[in-house]
Amino acid sequence: MSHFVFVSFLIISILMRLPLSVAMIVLRSLIPFVRRRLDFERLNLRDPASKSFKRHQVKADLCFEISSEGELEQSSALISKALSQSKKIEIIYSSPSVEEKCQKLYFAHVDNVRLLRLPLLSNSPFAFLYFQSLWQWVSSEVIVFCRYDFYPELLLLKFFNKKLVLLSATTKKLSWYKKESFKFFSYVVAATAIDQKQLVQLNFLKIDFIKNCDLRVPRIIERKKNSHQVLNDFSKVTSFKEYLEFLDNKSPSEKIIFGSVWPSDIEILNDKILINDLISNKIHLCLVPHQLKNEFIEKLVEKINLVTGALVPIEVLDGQSSFKPAPIIILKKSGVLCELYTLFRFSYIGGGYERSIHSVLEPFFMNNIIIVGPKTHRSTELEIVQSLLPDEIHVLKLPNSFYNLFMSIHLKNPDLKAREKLSNEIIHQSDELFKELLP
């Protein structure tokens, strides 16, 4: 009965979508967010990458639904594997944050990739004028979701004889909507062993169809193998090269990298001993911001000065100006954070004073010992690391306990054998999954 109600809810939401889309168009000039979103969605109408395979009577092998960069990273190993086998793929993405990466993927595989910006505000069961139809655009028989964004239009593709696959499934915050959505999937890959066990206990999925594997790991291991080349390319800019040389002259216990850091994370620097050690150059901090916008970096600098009393020199390194050694370097450069972790033994991962911590698997498999803030409830990656090496990932209870914690572990060496064993196990699991999903 509950599932019947859920399906009815999905159908009603679809039927309401067209009049709501009309209303959004009417309100477009009055609401800036609506205008920006509609402009984003309308790019589909003129983008060659958004022309459906159906126009040429071709079917894609897989269709991916991607909400943000996190989901793209989770799916990238399967996407890369499919493209290496000359499979045709479709990618539906809802966030402008992945526009650049998706477009880059398209231009690298023009004949095998199609892209669609998810029409949230211009959706219709049938395409006409400015209105767009997911149902008419998707050609693949297999729809691959990631994590927890279950849009009604995509779920209802189940009734069009589509096979629905879910990657990185998690039982965190298991709402009624999420629980009922799970019933639509024919193949589920749980994010962790704990999630797999809990999914099995829900008693509505066949156990044969529930696997356990984090598909980010093969991608991270691949980036680790190529990190030397990436850093070589990075160092072609003179100031970046000088900074890498500066880092190379620091011992592991004298430097910490802050990955995906927010202004709210800076409160952990509120420690007199740490501030004195920064001033005297006993410790160096490399901060890689969560966002590279000027306003965001300005807020970061402002918060550092507020917490440290403006006593600690800060330099923003963007490759445009010369490198000036400083106790705190804010690196304004995208695409190299994962590789930079290889130059450090200790990392602080940001987001723990926002919604939740960012990726800890990247620094973990780059052989870092990790410290994070208290908000970890959304991180399945934390569970993976804690289950293997609980002494190598630490959650701060109080912000000003950061430096005391670091000093208690700063001579510790990471367990490389345990990491290698886990990475080999996950890569083997992912290879088996690829064989099943890409016959």
Query: What is the residue extent of each domain of the chain?
Result: 2-212, 223-421
Q: What is the 3-state secondary structure (H, E, C) of 119-131?
A: CCCCECCCCECCE
Residue 25 identity: I
Q: Which two tokens stand for residue 434?
A: 């690829």
Query: What pLDDT is recorded for position 212?
Result: 85
pLDDT of residue 33: 85
Contact criterion met (CB below 8 Å) for 161 and 141: yes
241-291 per-position pLDDT tens digit: 999 999 999 999 999 999 999 999 999 999 999 999 999 999 999 999 999
Q: Distance between CA atoms of 31 and 39, rounded to whole angstroms? A: 12
Contact at 8 Å (CB) between 74 and 147?
A: yes
Q: What is the pLDDT of residue 380?
A: 82
> Region 52-81: what's the mean pLDDT?
92
Do 2-212 and 223-421 share a fold?
yes
Q: Which of 120, 113, 148, 150 is nearest to 134 (CA)?
A: 120
Q: How far is CA 378 from the centre of its chain?
A: 12
In the chain, the percentage of residues whose pLDDT exceeds 90 is: 70
Let me know: does 377 contact 172? Beta carbons within 8 Å: yes
Q: Of residues 290 and 174, which shows the higher confidence score?
A: 290
pLDDT tens-digit readout, 389-408: 999 999 998 899 999 999 99
pLDDT of residue 207 exceeding 60, the answer is no
Q: What confidence score (pLDDT) does residue 305 get? A: 97
Of 214 and 230, the one with more pLDDT: 230
pTM for the structure as a whole? 0.85
Is the pLDDT reported for residue 130 higher than 90? no
CATH 3.40.50.11720 fits 2-212, yes or no: yes
Q: Which of 387, 398, 346, 386 is nearest to 370 (CA)?
A: 346
List the alpha helices (DSSP H) in 85-158. Answer: 99-108, 134-137, 152-155
Average pLDDT on 320-337 reads 94
Which residue matches tokens 């990471």? 414
Top mean-pLDDT range of 25-29, 125-129, 434-438: 434-438
pLDDT in tens, 343-357: 999 999 999 999 899
pLDDT of residue 204: 62
- The fold adopted by the segment(s) 223-421 is Rossmann fold (3.40.50)
Name the DSSP class of 253: G
Q: Is the pLDDT of residue 88 over 80?
A: yes
* Reduced DSSP (H G I as helix, E B as strand, rest coil) percent helix, strand, coil of the chain, to 5: 50, 15, 30
Q: Which strands form 187-190's sheet, in the order they lie side by side?
A: 113-117, 89-93, 62-66, 142-146, 163-169, 187-190, 210-212
For residue 187, the SS3 value is strand
For 370, the token pair is 């990790």
